[in-house]
A and B are shown apart, each in its own frame.
Chain A
């Protein structure tokens, strides 16, 4: 019997009179790619930000591996093995791509004091190089991240989330604003990272996306959110056949 890696129960968040998230519950199993879809304003990003400690929910319990992580700060969550990407690009513009990756994991080893005496790359050089090769951005590895194209920055952004070898990664619209030709590449990368035994553990993803083909192809299970509530959870096939979902969202 598999225990869920992430368990969210009864999550609620209101902004004034608007109930952005009104009682959302779901589970993500280890090694699973869990998609979250829904129309704009359905509360997906609010739900994400609540799980990730960016905002404080009004109610609800969040558990990681059976332990409560409700109310933990983004800093603490990162240390517990939760990674994320943001809807808008968030790279360190004035550092090279390789340094971006190294800094994404360096704080997970040793103490702050020991890090003064550690070598510049904290021994993470090889891991960074491996990810750089996996993401096919070797040719810009030593370029300042801020000078890259949008698509390249997006790849760096996603790679950064994986440097610390998190058990759970939440990706907020990884394909937003990305060239259609790159979407397939991102999908393949995520599949590789999900099934890759080199990472040492099964990496589970929760992915918010609007690109239906991407979601249906990539995810093991999908949750549909409408107006802050869960409308359905199931495999891609089940969701595609769900009449309610078709009417509310996928249809037309």
Chain B
């Protein structure tokens, strides 16, 4: 049964991959740009899914790492360095800062941690807004170019899209490998029962720090790609509000489900962009989204990808009660 499920999953993935490869042929320039935009957020949300969905650390400061990645690339490129230096630099800086953010997580739990990360985001955003000498302040940094790869220019929307797609697949593959390894189970143990985990020899200290650091790296890489995608970086996309939206995207897609970010980013980023030009609807997207989140918590608290599991549970419960009823009838018939 498991093998069949795997085969179906594999077929689905290949079909999706094929679709992603040929999509640009059928889309206008803006559509291709939107796809890249979506994939950038998929990478960032994958990182948050690791920190929050798999390792259970309530992080409301993810947009700060996204911003650090973006500003690293923007600042380095403005200073004359190549994008190919900026990208690994963004990843490294985010890894270190992510580790640092993990330390409060060792001391405080749950909601207190959420607010500590929220505060961290505020602090980073304030630096982005105030330190004009470094970040350009509210004016930001513009004219960020797209890089060239082995002689090929990635300037156009289409070549840049394929580049972003490649990075997304690589990052997704690495995350898949990580979660399938013993680390994946260790993270889940940390999420489900840290006290028991510790008494079983799982170093919850290290895994907590790493869940923040690795999640941050994903956001940093996404931020780097974001900088060259939108080509103008300012503090607005990296606020606490953005972090909260990222958290909601993880939850809506399904925390702890590998493909949750794909769905979450589609709902949180693509949908509003799509509707931005539709008159009358654009302004109501956020109120509807907010209300949908409230309703979802009541009816589907584990996110959209939990629907198959829910249906399975319901069917199993129905079968169990049918079995009980049948047995009860049999007993009655005998007596």
Contact = CB atoms under 8 A, between A and B. Distances in A.
Interface centre among B186, B199, B202 (most CB of A within 10 A): B199
B198 A103 contact: no
Contact of A78 (B184, B189, B200, B256): B200
Interface stretch (A12-20, A91-99, A180-188, A201-209): A91-99
B193 A92 contact: yes
A112 interface: yes
Contacts of B188: 92, 94-95, 99, 103
Contacts of B204: 75
B183 A99 contact: no
Contact of B200 (A54, A112, A164): A164
Interface residues of A, number: 35
A77 B182 CA distance: 21
A240 interface: no
Given A90-B195, A92-B193, A95-B189, A107 B200 contact: yes
A74 interface: yes
A115 B256 contact: no
A62 B195 CA distance: 22
Interface centre among A54, A94, A105 (most CB of B within 10 A): A94
A103 B189 contact: yes
B257 to A, nearest CB: 11
Nearest to A157: B196
A8 interface: no
B318 interface: no
A92 B198 contact: no
B177 to A, nearest CB: 8
Interface centre among B193, B203, B206 (most CB of A within 10 A): B193
Contacts of B178: 116
Interface in A27-74: 52, 54, 73-74
Contact of B185 (A79, A83, A103, A164): A103
A73 B198 CA distance: 9
Contacts of B196: 86, 90-92, 160
A92 B202 CA distance: 13
Interface stretch (A117-125, A129-137, A214-222, A225-233): A117-125
B185 A106 contact: yes
Contacts of A73: 198
A21 B193 CA distance: 28
B193 A120 contact: no
The 3 closest A-B pairs by CB, nearest first: A78-B201, A92-B192, A90-B196
15 contacts: A75-B201, A90-B193, A91-B193, A92-B189, A93-B192, A95-B185, A95-B188, A105-B201, A107-B201, A112-B203, A116-B178, A116-B181, A116-B182, A118-B182, A160-B200
Interface of B: 178, 180-186, 188-189, 191-193, 195-204, 206, 256
Interface of A: 52, 54, 73-75, 77-79, 83-84, 86, 90-95, 99, 102-108, 112, 115-120, 122, 160, 164
